[in-house]
Structures are given as structure tokens and as C-alpha cells.
Amino acid sequence: MPLIVPPTPEEPIRAELFGIERLEQHAESLAAAQPVMRSAKGRQLLRRVKDNGRFLREAYRVMARAIREERAITPAAEWLVDNFHVVDEQLREIRDDLPPGFYRQLPKLAAGPFDGYPRVYGIAWAFVAHTDSRLDPATLRRFVRAYQRVQPLTIGELWAVAITLRVVLVENLRRLAEIIVRWRVARQEADSIADAVLGLADGPADSTLTALQWVGDAPLVTAFAVQLVQRLREQDPAVTPALVWLDERLAAQGTTADEIVRVEHQRQAAMNVTVRNVILSMSLMQALDWAAFVESVSLVDEVLQTARTYAAMDFVTRDAYRHAIEELSRGSRRSELEVAREATLHAEQPAADPRRNEVGYYLIGNGRAGLEAALGFRAPPTRRLLRAYLAAATPGYLGTIAVLTAVILAVPLFHAAASGTSPTILLLLGLLALIPASDLAIALVNRSVGTLIAPRALPRLELQNGAASSLRTMIVVPTLLTGRLEVDEQIERLEVHHLANPDGDLRFAILSDWSDAPEERRPGDEETLTAAREAIAQLNQRHGSAPGGGERFFLFHRRRIWNEGQQAWMGWERKRGKLHELNRLLRGATDTTFLSGPGGPAVAPPDVRYVITLDADTQLPREAVNRLIGTIAHPLNRPRFDGASGRVVEGHAVLQPRVTPPLPGGESSRFQRLSSGPSGVDPYASAVSDVYQDLFGEGSYTGKGIYDVDAFEAALAGRVPENALLSHDLFEGVFARAGLITDVELFEPAPSHYGVAAARQHRWARGDWQLLPWILGHRSRGLSTIGRWKMIDNLRRTLSAPAAFLTLVAGFTVPGASPVVWTAFVMAMITLPALPPVLTGAVPRRRGISKRSHIRAVGRDLLMAASQTAFVTTMLAHQAWLMSDAIARTLVRMYVTHRRLLEWVTAAQAKAGLRLDLRGFCQRMAGGVVLAGVVAAAVAWRRPESLPVALPLLLLWISAPAVARWISRPSRGPQTTALPPADARTLRLIGRRTWRFFTTFVGPEDQALPPDNFQEDPHPVIAHRTSPTNLGLYVLSTVVACDFGWLGAVDTVERLEATFATMARLERFRGHFFNWYGTRDGRPLDPRYVSSVDSGNLAGHLIAFEHACREMIGRPRVSATTLAGIEDTALLVREAARALADDRRHAATRQRLATALDVVTAALETIPPTPAAWAVRLVELDAGARVVQAISDALIAEGGDRALAVATWADALRACVESHARDLALEPGALDDRLTALAARAG
């Protein structure tokens, strides 16, 4: 529909451009003139943002359609089309970062054009208007600071600066796009009229002004008038009266054709600048560090910076302090600045406890109540209820579990009572079903607590330069030295730990024992220990001294001592003894069982404050060490030991990071996939300790973490007799007050074999029951109620499988019990704990997720839950036998024999001793099968009518060994299939064309360095610069070209040597290549910087290159790949000639070329059997290649640049043959030394 006079569009957000001083003055006057309303209600902003998004997407489609139709568009429109992905990203971030709750908390303006909108929205609008949408971080920072000199902004408003700037920029772009679209419509109408006037449309030229009649008397739109002027400018007014009409109309509007064209061009130029500024500002906003910006303009941060340690904390901790200030301000009617000042005043008061001088003590610590009282803070009702629950966390948590367990248990018991079951039977069923019911109750309570209470993140110091000498830390790996292979593996892992965490004053050590033995010394012991010591010495030589001097790597190895209870020579108290003796050694003890080294007695580095202990297979990610040390060193986390109770009562002496199985690899088993997730079947791998941390401020220690040496030893001193405790981690965490660090993650593989997992569960169960003396009281001095509950809960979990099994047996066999009801009850107790992840994942957490992908994700969750339920059900009988055996063994050993209480084998030893055939599984799981058989006989004898219900479970229990074997077998992984010959040929030719880039552009002119790119259009241009990624790609491509037969080995080595010689001369920064070098002079290009991505790419390429070079050593000089490479090039000659088929001038010459290529191809059909035959064959191929080259030259002489491609590939064919002929002229092994040198340079 014609749109000559559109409705007046909204003007762009553009006002007078201000310099920085004038902008600051405007910010101050703006702050003085903007009153703020008290009410949280205001006008909606997101509705307008959504409308802007819809309009911009439609405008993008219109402009993109115009480009496809090859219509002219303005430069501003080109900016929008080319960068619309940036705009779309801004719209998504606005939607994600401006939730309704946050928007409601922003102070709203009470008057003016932005009445009801957030104050920060008005600030952003003013900034955009007076900078023409050009974002400069320094200017914005000064603008916000100037505003706050008159009116401080809240912390939330400072965070909203980025969001509201995005909103205003999108608003401005929408207005600009609206004008662009309206102008385009006007120009299209002008083109239609011009076509009619000039007779370019259907029909003759219109000289009667009929086409202009519908325009009317309204003022002409500028874009319409300018387009019409430009179309009719060259016409004769006498012939084209439309020009006269147009001049008259413009004169009536007070302008002329030349003036209106000039104005229009100015408007388009201004529009282009503004659109460009908007797009560039949006791009800059994505890269800007808004957290640093907020902290640089925050007045609250200025107050907190006066605190001693605030600046040393990491961002998450500082942000937690600020969130606390926001909450206290909202509940006390005091400004955030006043709250911050009050908190710092409290921290400045003299105190005996140094943690009271930390401002965080009053914001997020135990001093919060005192600060709230001073501020007159009143929490919201829901918050008060939650606080009341947390104040009584122990009785509240345990009471909720008890009540919910009773409610769950009441359902089947009421049904049984209604069926006339006797009280004795009811009591029996109730006792048996109590543990399964508690399983579900605890799962539901833990899930509810995790939903209601936000995770409690521990405060942390940042340690930007690593741990200082005052925080010296040792990373230790307790292990067994069983052989040279084990030594090499552990040394390599220790070095990887250092490489992942190289900063700070750190030491790395292996704490080792020999395996248990019937005698003190065994053959091979000394050789293994010597190899370990030599490997440690090599590490120290390779990586140099530690900060502050001294060695960086250590080996602390203990001698065997006789253990009467185990009847074996072994390391004293196993892992617990290793760590205890290490702690004593760190504090100067000389009576430990650590063996003397070659230079004298075992000596530990001095002043070690913390120890990080890892298992032998634990992976320590980058920066994990700094984050662990920074957390335990924070003033609020430092342990306070209470001498009366003998335990840590505030802070933490040990911190447990989150331990996560890595993603299952190609050789993982189905069992590993089932048990390695956060909701896996392994109860010890679940996130129960999150609940303890959130409710009680202390987590559960699982043996991998960091501890304070002095506090740890003080809390455990004299608590454990010898030969009494196998599983000591939970015990240590209870008395040392373990803290859980959920935002620091270690990786440890889950068992891939059910037998290994079962052995580990058996060992853990034995260790849990060894805690009975502490649970029952005579060793429980200082044991807290929640600590005792943790121990009891572990015992309860070991009873879960036996109790569930016996409940089912009772339901099948006891008279009056309904087998259907009790089977359904036990199955519900197994199934329901696995369902919450499925139910929570069923509702998408954010918008924009495709339905198909969401349904697939929910389906995978449901399949996982069903698989876990089926697996637990199948293994129930074996688990009941396993746990019963562990409990019985432990009780007998504790109270009867007093032997073998420290029985333990490593996971590797357990796996090595397992048979993987069905017979082996049947032997290990015979107890469960026997139980299933006994139950089947009992059901058949006592209650045959229960068999239809019991039979499916009995069959599952009997088949458990076969299922366990099937689920423990390594997966075969994705199967590869050979490519069809045609596809393989296509890919080879693509690769050969790609290799041509390097043969063409990598040469002496560029110092054997690959250029970054070659531009073909509009003019050929070579980018004479290169990067580490380009270098890595080139060296690998050269090796691949040799592998495919496109390049001989001699030429390959020469190319690589030239490139590595140049790389050796390039300037570097701390060993790293800069990201860009000029290929002509080899100088780093400005701005100089190192890219971790490019450096990583080069490192990966060089690793592959090193292996490729070593594989080339001893390879035959010529082989079938030689002929394949020559054939690829010949095919490309033929393909290039085929492109000349429509040119009759070359018909005869093309026929000669085809015949010559047939000769070459025929020579490639068979592989010569001897070197002499190869020499003859290469001479034939060289002659054929020369003929092909001569014919291609004739094609060019016949006329045409079109034949250049044929000549290029003909030259490549001859070069390929000559390259392989050079290889044949060499003696065998002539290149081996040069390849070895190249591999060494790459390594």
C-alpha cells in the first residue's frame, strides 16, 4: 500500500553532543532534578522491549529481502543487516538479566518524562542521547560518578546500568529502523512514479501528471522527494512536466531540489553514524567487564575498601557482602551507604577474636544479629520463619524426617491393620519397613531443604598471585608403591598437578607405603623405591626450586611395621597413619616411620600451613589449589578450636570440595554411566552433604580436600586407638568441622565395574560400623548431635538393602500381609527418590529452548531414572547379602576376634583380581542368588499364592550376576564404517586442493611461514601475517601431504626444517608465541598479546606432529601412497580440462591431453615390487608428466586464461613425481636423524 506521508515516527534518541565536562555537569543537574517514589510499583518496561524486538526482527526480514532482490539499501540498513546477530543477543540478555523481581526493586522516578520508570533508565537515556549512542567505558564511569556526587545509586541500580543501556540502545535502534523502513517505502513509491513518468513501467511515458494526482497537497516526504529528484534530474522539463511540478511543490515547502538533496544526504550520514554507534556499543557491551565497572563506581565499595581484607577477597565473596548490605538496607530503612558504614564501624572495634575485626563477620557471619539490632532491621515474615527453622536446625531436621517417615510408614500399616493383621505382625512389618520408609523421607526432606535454602558458599580470598609463604601448602597423594608402572603413573600425575596449579608457594609430595606383606622386606621393594626417588629428583631438576627456596617435589615413604591385628607387615594405620605422621613430620617430629632418603633422614619443608590430600586417581583442575587455599585462609573460615570439647566449633579445619566423575569416555561401562551422575545409585556419591552445609554450616568430609595442619591434629589428638578405624574421613570431618566448597570441583572416575563398586561399598560399610564405639558413647567426647546423626545415617544406609529385602520377604511369606501392597511400598521407596530430577527437569528453566530438544532431555532423564530403579531392584538381594556380610564381619572382628579391622585393598587391586566372565560374577554374587533361592522356597512352602507377585523379583535377583556382567562390560563405543570409494576420492581431492594453498604461498619470501589468508575478490591480496594456530595447521598439513603421497619425504623435511628455523628466531613472551607476526620480517604485530587459545592450538598440533615424525622414521621411501598421491593430482588435471569442454578451439588439444593422462593413469595401476622397478616406474611417470605439462602449455597458447588451471595442476603433477623421485635417490634411513631432530624440537 502506498505510504508517502507516514505517521510521524518517533525521533531517534539523539540530543546535543556533550564533552566529558559538560556531560558530568548534566549528570549532576539530572541527579538534582529527579525525585524518586517510595512505592516499588512502576511502569512496565519489558513490554516495550518485546515490541521493539518484534519490530526489529521484521525490519531485518524486510531489509534482507531487499538485499536478496538486489535492491539498493542505505548504509545504515547494511549495518543493521550485517550485525543483527549482535542485536538479537542484546534482546536475549535483556530478557535474561531483567527478571520481574529485580525490576520491582529498582527505585522509580516520581515525575518528569520517565515518571514511573526506573531512575537508572532515565540515566541511561540521558547518556545515550548526549553521546549519540557511542559507549565509552571511561566516559560512562565519570558520568555515573558525577551523578552520585549529588544522589547515590543503589547497588542494584549500578548493576542495572548495563541492562538499561541495552534497553535504551534497542529502543534507539528500533526508532532508527522505523525511519529506515519508512524511507525505503517512500523511495519505492518514488521509483514507481518515476517509472510511470519515464515510461519504464508497462505502458507509454506519462506526460500528463496522472501518476502524481494521488499524491495530494500534503507536504512531500523528504526521502520520496529526493528519490524523485534523482530519478528525473537529467530529464528536459519541457518533455517531463513532472520536474516542474516537483520544483513547485518544493518551493511551496520553502526549499529547493538541491537543498532537499543536501539535507537528505546529511540525514542519511547522521543515521549511518548513529546506527553504527549503536551496533558498536552493543558489541562493546558484550566484551565489557561489568563487574569491574560496578565496583569502580560503587560508593558502598569505597566504604568497604577501608576494611583490611575486603580488596583481597574474590568477586563472589565481595558480591555476597554487597547482597547482605542490600538486604539489610531494605529491612531497616537505612541507605546502603549507612549500612556499609555501620558494618565497618563494628569491625573496627577492639576484639579478642580476630574474626570480629572482619566486616564480613557482621554481614554474613555470626555477628549478623548484632548488626541487625543496631540497624533496627526487621526481616520479612517468610525470612523470619526460615530463620526460626535454621535456629532449631537439628531438632527441626531430625524431627521432620521422623514425622515424614511415620507418615510414609503409616500408609501400608493402616492397610495391613484394616485387613485384620495381628499386632505382632504389624510390629514386625513396621520394624522391617522403617529403614526403607526413612530412605524416601530423607530424600524428600533433603530435596525440600535444597529448594528452600540457597546454597551457602564459603567466603574466599582471591590469591591472584598464588599462595604467599604465610599460606604455604603441600599437595600430597597417599598411594602404594606396587611396581615401576605404578611409580611412573603417580609421578606423571604429580607433575600434572603442578602444571595445572603452578602459582604460589606450593609443594607436591607422594606419601607411599609398600603393599602388605608377610615379611618386612620383599624382593623388588628397594628397586621400586629407588625408581620413585630418581623420578622425584628429575621433577625437581626439570621444574626448579619452589618459591622461597628448597625442593618443590617430595617422596615420603614409610617402612613396614608388624601389625598383630592384621597379622602382616604394613604401613602404620594405612592412609590415616600416613597423614598423621606427615603432620607430625611437618611440625618437626623425628620418630615417624618415614624412611631416610639418600641425603639423610626424612625432612619436610618448613612452615607448611595447609595440606591438600588427594587420592591416586583424583584430577586437580586448574586454579583449584588457589581457590581451596583462598577459602580456608579467609578470616571467617579459620578454625577456632575449643579445648573443652576437643573439637573445632567455629570456622573449618578441613574443607571438602565437590568431587565429580568426569564424563564417561569411550571405554566406559553402562554401570559407570548409571552411577557417575549426581543422582546415581551410589549413595556415597550423592549430594547429601549439601544439606548439612546449608542447614548446619558444616559438610561431610570424604577424604579429598584441604586441612589446617595444626587445627586438624588438635581436633583428632588422642581420639583413635590403633587398629580401630578403617573409614576415618567422616570421623575426621565431624571433629575438625568440615566445610563443603560446592564451587570448587575435583574429578575422580567412578568404578566401571560392579564388582569393584561392591567391594568398595563392603569396605565403607565395615568402616561405618567401626564407628559404633563413638556413636554409643564411651568415645564420644565432644561429638555434636548432628555429627552423631551423620554416623548413624551411614549405618542406616547400610541397613537399607537388607531391610527392603526382608520387607519384601515378609510381604511374600507372613500371613495377613498383602504381597501386592508391600511390594508396591518397597518399589515406591526405590523409585520415588530417583524421580525429582525428572520432575524438575520437565519444566524448562528458561525460554527459547526448542520443544524437541527439551522432550529429548526429559526422555533421557526418565530413561536414566527407570534404569537406576531397575538396576537397584535387580541387585537388591546381592546388596542385602553384601551389607549383611559387612556388618556381621565388622561386629565379629570388633567384639570377638579383634583382628583384620584394617582390611583394605585399593580399587586397582580389587579390579585386577576380578574375573570378568559369567562364572566369576556368579561366584562373587552367589550370596544374593542363594538368598533368592531361599526366598523362592519359603514362598512356595508358606504362601504359594504370593508367587505371581514374587516371581518377577525372584527372577531378577537370580539373574543379577548376568546383569552385573553385562552392565560392567566396557562399551564398544561408536562403530566406524569405511567410506565408499567415491566419497573417499572426493575428500582426497578436496584435501589436495587445500594443500595447494600452502605450496603456493609458503615460501622463502615469507620465511617459510604460512600467511593468514588469501583474498580473491575484488582483488587478489595475500595477508602477510601468521599466528600460532596457522603455524600448527601448516606443520600438520605438511605431514598429512606426505602421508597422502602429495609430497615426498625429502621435500617434507626441508619444508618443516625451514619453518622451525624461522619459528626459533621469532620473538616470544615467556616462551609463548605472540598471536600475530609479519611473515616478511618475522616481527610481532601490534598490539602485542598472547592468546591462550592459539597457544593451546599450537601445543596440540605439535604433540600430534611429534608422533607423526616418529612414525615416519623407518617408513619405506615409496609405497602405494606414492601412487595414490600422484593419481590425485592427475585427476585434478583431468577435472580442470573438463571445464574447457564448451570451447571448440581446444577440442584436439584436449583429446591429446586425455590420452596423455590415460598413459599416466595406466602407470599407476600396479605397485612395483622392487626399488629398481620403482625407479623405472617413476621415470615413466616423469615422462608422462612432462607430456601433460607440454600439452597444458599448448592449451594456454591456443588462447585463454581459462586453461591456467590445467597448467597449474599439470605443473603440480610433475612436481609431485619429481618429489618422490628425490626420495628414491636417498639411502634407507637417511632422513631418520633429521626426523628425530624435528620431533625433539616439537616436544
pLDDT tens for 795-808 read 999 999 999 999 99
pLDDT, residue 5, reads 34
Give residues with Cβ within 8 angstroms of 79, minimum separation 6: 272, 275, 276, 279
Radius of gyration of the chain (CA): 39
Per-residue pLDDT tens over the stretch 494-553: 999 999 999 999 999 999 999 999 999 999 999 999 999 999 999 999 999 999 889 999
190, three cell numbers: 518514488
pLDDT-derived band of residue 103, with 50, 70 and 90 as boundaries?
confident
Q: Are the C-beta atoms of residues 900 and 565 closer than 8 Å to each other?
A: yes
What is the reported pLDDT for 506?
96
Place of cell 598411594: 479
pLDDT for 821? 94
> What average pLDDT does range 586-596 have in this prediction?
92
258 pLDDT band, cuts 50/70/90, is confident
Closest of 1215, 1155, 1158 to residue 1182, by C-alpha: 1215
- β-sheet bridge partners, residue 641: 648
Q: Are strands 1068-1069 and 1072-1073 parallel, antiparallel or unpaired?
A: antiparallel
Least confidently predicted of 256-265, 384-393, 779-788: 256-265
Q: Which three cell numbers stand for residue 655?
A: 574443607
The mean pLDDT of 758-779, rounded to a whole number, is 90
pLDDT tens digit sequence for 987-998: 999 999 999 999
Residue 479, pLDDT score = 94
Using CB atoms within 10 Å of the CB of residue 625, give its burial: 0 to 12 exposed, 13 to 18 middle, 19+ buried: buried
Mean pLDDT, range 919-923, rounded to an integer: 90
Confidence of residue 4 (pLDDT cuts 50, 70, 90): very low
Going by C-alpha positions, the residue among 766, 788, 769, 800 that lies closest to residue 681 is: 800
DSSP 1158-1173: HHHHHTTSS--SSHHH
pLDDT, tens only, 23-66: 999 999 999 998 888 666 778 888 899 999 999 999 888 888 88
Answer yes or no: are the C-beta atoms of 1241 and 1059 closer than 8 Å.
Answer: no
C-alpha cell at 3: 505510504
> Which residue type does 969 have?
R
Helical (H) or strand (E) element with 1211: helix 1204-1225
Q: What is the pLDDT of residues 365-407, one digit of tens each?
A: 999 999 999 999 999 998 899 889 888 999 999 999 999 999 9
Peptide bond into 635 cis (omega under 30): no
Name residue, grid cell 577477597.
313
Instruction: Please check whether residue 570 is in contact with residue 516, taking contact to mean a CB–CB distance below 8 angstroms.
Output: yes
Which pLDDT belongs to residue 803?
Answer: 96
- Parallel, antiparallel or unpaired: strands 473-481 and 506-514: parallel
Q: At residue 211, does pLDDT exceed 60?
A: no
- pTM of the full predicted structure? 0.83
1229 alpha carbon, distance to own chain's centre: 46
- Residue 974: the pLDDT is 62
> 152-167: per-residue pLDDT in tens?
999 999 999 999 999 9
Q: Which of 242-251, 456-465, 589-598, 905-914 has the lowest mean pLDDT?
A: 905-914
Bridge partner list, 568: 563
Across residues 833-848, what is the average pLDDT? 76
- Spatial distance between the Cα atoms of 97 and 160, rounded to a whole number of angstroms: 9
Percent of the chain with pLDDT over 90: 57
pLDDT at 1049 over 60: yes
pLDDT band with cut points at 50, 70 and 90 for residue 687: very low
pLDDT at position 679 = 40
Calculate the average pLDDT of the chain: 88
| pLDDT reading at 238 higher than 90 | no
Q: Which residues, 6+ apart, have CB-to-CB distance to 891 below 8 Å? A: 769
Angle at the Cα of 1191 (from 1188 to 1194), degrees rounded to 5? 155
What pLDDT is stored for residue 11 in this prediction? 86
Q: Residue 680 above 70 pLDDT?
A: no
3-class secondary-structure state, position 888 = helix
Query: Per DSSP, what are the bridge partners of residue 506?
Result: 473
pLDDT one-digit tens code per residue, 1206-1218: 888 999 999 999 9
Give me the residue label for grid cell 537543498.
Answer: 259
Assess whether pLDDT exceeds 90 at residue 781. Answer: no
SS3 1073: strand
Contact 764, 731 (CB under 8 A): no
User: Which range, of 260-274, 582-596, 1113-1127, averages the lowest pLDDT?
Assistant: 260-274
- For residue 475, give the nearest of 486, 466, 485, 487 by alpha carbon: 466
Contact 726, 767 (CB under 8 A): yes
**Interval 1213-1227 mean pLDDT:** 89
pLDDT in tens, 317-366: 999 999 999 999 999 989 999 999 999 999 999 888 888 999 999 999 99
Per-residue pLDDT tens digits for 936-981: 999 999 899 999 999 999 999 999 999 999 998 887 766 677 889 8
Give yes or no for residue 735 having a pLDDT over 90: yes
pLDDT in tens, 1159-1205: 999 988 889 988 889 899 989 999 998 998 888 888 777 666 667 88
Instruction: Answer whether 410's CB lies under 8 Å from 821's CB.
Output: no
Q: Answer yes or no: is pLDDT of 122 > 90.
A: yes
| Dihedrals phi, psi of 1114, to nearest 5 degrees | 80, 0
Q: Is pLDDT above 90 for 809?
A: yes
Higher pLDDT, 1052 or 916: 1052
C-alpha closest to that of 988 among 1143, 1129, 825, 1118: 1129
The three three-digit cell numbers of residue 52, written as one number: 521493539
- Greatest Cα pair distance, the chain, in angstroms, is 125
Reading the block at residue 682, the C-alpha cell is 551410589
Contact between 716 and 733 under an 8 Å Cβ cutoff? The reply is: no
Average pLDDT over residues 632-653: 94
Q: Are 762 and 742 in contact (CB under 8 A)?
A: no
Specify the pLDDT at position 688. Answer: 38
Residue 816 pLDDT greater than 60, yes or no: yes
Burial 132-170 (b: 16+ CB within 10 A, else e): bbbbeeebbebbbebbbeebbbbbbbbbbbbbbbbbbbb
> What is the pLDDT averaged over residues 77-85?
87
What number is the average pLDDT over the span 1060-1069? 93
Alpha carbon 658 to its chain's center: 15
Q: What is the mean pLDDT of residues 273-298?
A: 93
- Residue 247, all three cell numbers: 520544483
645, pLDDT greater than 80: yes
Instruction: Name the residue among 103, 161, 76 with its Cα closest to residue 127.
Output: 161
Residue 400 half-sphere exposure, CB side, CA atoms within 13 Å?
A: 17
